[in-house]
Structure 1
Amino acid sequence: MGYEGRDRERWVAEDPAQKRADRDDFARDRARVVHSSALRRLAAKTQVLAPGHDDFVRNRLTHSLEVAQIGREFGAALGCDADVVDTACLSHDLGHPPFGHNGETVLDEIASDIGGFEGNAQTLRLLTRLEAKRAHADGRPAGLNLTRASLDASTKYPWARGEGPHGTRKFGVYPSDRPVFDWIREGARPGVRCLEAEVMDWSDDVAYSVHDVEDAIASGWLDPRVLHSRDLAAVLDVAGRTYAPDLGADALGAALERLLASGAVPTAYDGSRSDLAMLKDMTSRLIGHFVLVVEQATRERHGPGTLCRYGADLVVPDGTRAECAVLKAVANHFVMTTDERLAVMSQQREVVRALVEAFAAAPDERLDVAFRADHDAAVDDGERLRVVVDQVASLTDVRALALHTRWCR
């Protein structure tokens, strides 16, 4: 059965009255995401460290707000509709389960026979099915009922599992959500993202690469003096293996040298207000640098004027991508893969596995009411498992731990 969207084409309107109507629709899209329960739940979901671990570090909600702030201004500078980009940025992490990518890995293993699990595919499912706002005429849920343009901009990986480029494990749609995906992508070339989605993706990369390093320094996981020691072979190895395998060790090493030579990275940190100010200055300077370089490169290729939808693609120079990859690797090496964090992550994976088993064992008693209705309507074991996965993915870290304590100990 097809998907009946709220708007029709929504590519680039030429008629002034239609443009105004589009802008009103896009503003309503943003409001619907802002008021969604899925966005609120991000306040209690892991970004890098668990919520409550430190009063300074970010959670998924504050990260999403910061991505939206970057993306809105960046997209508008190129000519994109600011509300479309804002909606995409606010939505980009809605599908993340408890414990972030750690929980995502477990759910993907559990759901391997029914199409897997991927946070971005789950985001599409939330926006078009699971979040309660509107229903189709026949009673099927329509999620937040966003416009085609906003949904397309929120689609970071516009392909199904196994259909992406370069053997990537990322994907943006489950088999059961294919009708709405096909409606969103009608008229677009397979696998090609609109400019707004590319702006959202780069804004996300910029935000978390810089902010994760800021959080690591502020929370005591990383002494910035180490970054100036020039003994960072392990960091460069992580950058090459995990974030930019196509760039090579020399390019990544040069990127690290440029970052340190810029003067943006503090040489020490003691938690004082003056050092906090220097740390925030680092964040502002690096974000400004990453956004400006990409804006200029995109303009050099596509020229002046309005750039939006499928009229242009974002240009990220290799050197800038290398710098971003190095910052991601710093947080990975000094925070995410320490022995302490690996032990915590192992416990978190066991919590997710146990919760799937607990919900599946007693769905009538344990599933939330909305998911219970989905479970009752499921026609086979695969659909029932997908409902259980939807339920577990919706949980905050806090509720996941509380339910695990109640049912699994």
Structure 2
Amino acid sequence: MPRYSPPPRAPIAADPNASRGRLFPEPASSSRTAFQRDRDRVIHSAAFRRLKHKTQVFVYHEDDHFRTRLTHSIEVAQIARSLARTLGLDEDLAEALALAHDLGHTPFGHEGEERLDDCMADYGGFDHNAQSLRIVTRLEQRYADFDGLNLTWETLEGLVKHNGPLTDREGTPVGRYAGRPLPHAIRSYVPLNDLMLWSWPSAEAQIAAIADDIAYNAHDIDDGLRADLFTAADLLDVPLVGPTLADLNRAYPGLERSRLIHETVRRLIGTFVRDVAEEVRMRVARSKVDTPEAVRLLDHPLVAFSERIAGPERAIKKFLFECMYRHPSVMEARAKAGKVARDLFAAFFADPDLMPEEWHQGLEGATRDKVARRVCDYIAGMTDRYAWREHERLFDDTPELR
């Protein structure tokens, strides 16, 4: 078997030596590239550590083997790094973005985000992607010279735009923000550091985004099977998954369940990664892009699934939405978690002194908008278990999740 040899650096790869720099200039490192420093700063941040006790679908104490935001982020980083290496892109930038992409998530997964958005409806709303930017540019307070992590322009751009442009060239919100203002955190930061919200991000940022999809699809199947929310038999009619299971059952009759699950997930990830790599190569050749800037100026994404895989990938998402995310037991837990989030916001908004001193300090006489945003930042940064304990401290009706 021939020895593995990585491909040469691609012309479209982000170059850390040509970075647009940091908002607050810093001397270059003699031992790490600018993007490696970004990755390391994310890993050492308090927000990253808190992901250990923030769940995606399951509540934190249900089972130690289910994914948390932390384990999910590490798995996304592995997939992003592999794709970047295969395509000759900058692995460190892709990894930094993958590790940072969930920093802004609230406790209790999407239920927490939706309830916090409801509570903030009169104060600019809440958006986890914008909150990630707010964390790395303001809320992390570790350095003597600046707030935030002072990440490079390329990492901030990728963090905000990894799913595509946020506005057109005239500044009108598009995509998920069409018809409404951009989130507060983005609107307040961009005047300080233009992130070209109208363009596509780097190839590395797009790699991190699709790695997130791959990880969700494969690993939510894993968690859903292990939680008995659905069975392997339920998956037999799902594109890609069903044929993979059938192949395994033919090749390994009677294979124990845990190995069957792992082999299915492993093979799905491999299928997705190979497909994306082939599709990106084809799109590079067809569009003739040969610089990172050319990638940004395209009118379409460079990184995507092929037509052959895109349909089955959507079918997997549909199956997971119906059979996992909307499973009665999950919905019951979501409702209880939503109550905790709403109650906490109401209590802290009515009396900010209930928050720790570092959080209520300076709010005397503050506007309702400022109080609401401070309360929002505080709750969004909580882990599931801390939010639960705070509710128990303040209320007598904290629900049981079991």
TM range (shorter): 0.7 to 0.9
Q: Report how far residue 219 of structure 1 moved.
A: 2.2
CA gap 1:99/1:166 in 2 versus in 1, 3 angstroms: closer
Q: Report how far residue 329 of structure 1 moved.
A: 2.4
Superimposed CA distance per residue, residues 122-159 of structure 1 (whole angstroms, 9 cap, x where no aligned partner): 100001000112365xxxx5211111111112223553
Looking at structure 1, the residues matched to 59 and 395 of structure 2 have their Cα atoms a distance apart, in angstroms, of 21
Looking at structure 2, the residues matched to 95 and 47 of structure 1 have their Cα atoms a distance apart, in angstroms, of 13
Q: Report how far residue 66 of structure 1 moved.
A: 0.3
The more displaced of 147-156 and 203-212 is 147-156
After TM superposition, the structure 1 = structure 2 runs for residues 141-220 of structure 1, keeping only pairs within 5 Å, are 142-155=147-160, 156-157=162-163, 158-159=165-166, 163-165=173-175, 174-186=183-195, 188=196, 190-220=198-228
2:283 equivalent to 1:301: yes
Q: Whose helix proportion is higher, 1 or 2? A: 1
2:76 equivalent to 1:67: yes
Looking at structure 1, the residues matched to 351 and 76 of structure 2 have their Cα atoms a distance apart, in angstroms, of 39
CA gap 1:266/1:388 in 2 versus in 1, 3 angstroms: farther
Looking at structure 2, the residues matched to 342 and 143 of structure 1 have their Cα atoms a distance apart, in angstroms, of 35
CA gap 1:274/1:185 in 2 versus in 1, 3 angstroms: farther
Looking at structure 1, the residues matched to 71 and 186 of structure 2 have their Cα atoms a distance apart, in angstroms, of 28
Q: Report how far residue 81 of structure 1 moved.
A: 1.6
Tell me the TM-score normalized by structure 1: 0.79
- SS for the counterpart of 2:294 is coil
Q: Report how far residue 322 of structure 1 moved.
A: 2.2
- SS for the counterpart of 1:311 is helix
Looking at structure 2, the residues matched to 295 and 371 of structure 1 have their Cα atoms a distance apart, in angstroms, of 46
Looking at structure 2, the residues matched to 121 and 28 of structure 1 have their Cα atoms a distance apart, in angstroms, of 22
Superimposed CA distance per residue, residues 381-408 of structure 1 (whole angstroms, 9 cap, x where no aligned partner): 1111011011011111101111111102
- Asked if structure 2 preserves the Cα contact closer than 8 Å seen for 1:33 and 1:39, the reply is yes
Q: Which residue of 1 aligns with 2:386?
A: 399
Q: Which residue of 2 aligns with 1:341?
A: 330
- SS for the counterpart of 2:33 is helix
Q: Report how far residue 283 of structure 1 moved.
A: 1.3
2:99 equivalent to 1:90: yes
Q: Which residue of 1 aligns with 2:24?
A: none
Looking at structure 1, the residues matched to 176 and 189 of structure 2 have their Cα atoms a distance apart, in angstroms, of 25
Superimposed CA distance per residue, residues 269-321 of structure 1 (whole angstroms, 9 cap, x where no aligned partner): xxx98332221111111111111111111111213999774433213223322
Superimposed CA distance per residue, residues 252-285 of structure 1 (whole angstroms, 9 cap, x where no aligned partner): xxxx4444224478669xxx98332221111111
CA gap 1:362/1:53 in 2 versus in 1, 3 angstroms: same
CA gap 1:196/1:380 in 2 versus in 1, 3 angstroms: same
CA gap 1:307/1:405 in 2 versus in 1, 3 angstroms: farther
Looking at structure 1, the residues matched to 321 and 215 of structure 2 have their Cα atoms a distance apart, in angstroms, of 15
- Asked if structure 2 preserves the Cα contact closer than 8 Å seen for 1:44 and 1:398, the reply is yes
CA gap 1:176/1:342 in 2 versus in 1, 3 angstroms: closer
- SS for the counterpart of 2:58 is coil
Q: Which residue of 1 aligns with 2:115?
A: 106
2:50 equivalent to 1:41: yes
- Asked if structure 2 preserves the Cα contact closer than 8 Å seen for 1:222 and 1:334, the reply is yes
Looking at structure 2, the residues matched to 274 and 176 of structure 1 have their Cα atoms a distance apart, in angstroms, of 49
Looking at structure 1, the residues matched to 125 and 232 of structure 2 have their Cα atoms a distance apart, in angstroms, of 39
2:341 equivalent to 1:358: no
Looking at structure 2, the residues matched to 122 and 318 of structure 1 have their Cα atoms a distance apart, in angstroms, of 33
CA gap 1:118/1:265 in 2 versus in 1, 3 angstroms: farther
Q: Which residue of 2 aligns with 1:77?
A: 86
- Asked if structure 2 preserves the Cα contact closer than 8 Å seen for 1:264 and 1:285, the reply is no
Letter in 1 for 2:156: L
- Asked if structure 2 preserves the Cα contact closer than 8 Å seen for 1:375 and 1:384, the reply is yes
2:372 equivalent to 1:372: no
CA gap 1:221/1:293 in 2 versus in 1, 3 angstroms: same
CA gap 1:398/1:296 in 2 versus in 1, 3 angstroms: same
Letter in 2 for 1:190: W
Tell me the TM-score normalized by structure 2: 0.80
The more displaced of 321-330 and 217-226 is 321-330
The more displaced of 46-55 and 290-299 is 46-55
CA gap 1:19/1:35 in 2 versus in 1, 3 angstroms: closer
2:256 equivalent to 1:274: yes
Looking at structure 2, the residues matched to 54 and 10 of structure 1 have their Cα atoms a distance apart, in angstroms, of 42
Q: Which residue of 2 aligns with 1:311?
A: 294
CA gap 1:340/1:175 in 2 versus in 1, 3 angstroms: closer
- Asked if structure 2 preserves the Cα contact closer than 8 Å seen for 1:98 and 1:396, the reply is yes
Looking at structure 2, the residues matched to 265 and 387 of structure 1 have their Cα atoms a distance apart, in angstroms, of 53
- SS for the counterpart of 2:190 is helix
Q: Which residue of 2 aligns with 1:328?
A: 317
Q: How many residues matched?
A: 361
